[in-house]
Amino acid sequence: MIKHRGFPSRLPGSDLQFTIRRANPKGATPIQRRERHADRRPADRRADAAFLEALWLSFGEEPFERGNLDAGRIGWLFGREVVPAEDPFDPESYEALLRIDVDRARQTFPDVFDGDGYWEAR
């Protein structure tokens, strides 16, 4: 499992994690699309924006390996702003390739791409 050095491990000031410390010996947790409802907590919304911004700053439009990125956190963006970059896609692989759907991400999280993102404001 590749570890993305320099990638934030969590949302500052919270317990919402972005990365995992070590590979699960039983295998990777499958990436599953999670539904985002309008009544989500503000901290969860900030975590989505901060995670997407960290992905953007780290990888840009290039495909990236899942590695130590948290499957649960990816799931909040999966199938919308983060999509598979390979076919067939194995959601249970640490080596699975993902990419940012930039057009969709810009629509959903304009602050991330317009310079007013989470990390810029901190």
Q: Are 76 and 82 in contact (CB under 8 A)?
A: no
The pLDDT score that the predictor gives to residue 116 is 61
Token pair recorded at residue 77: 């963006």
pTM of the model: 0.88
10-residue stretch averages of pLDDT, the chain, 122 residues long: 87 86 85 90 89 92 93 94 94 94 92 67 48
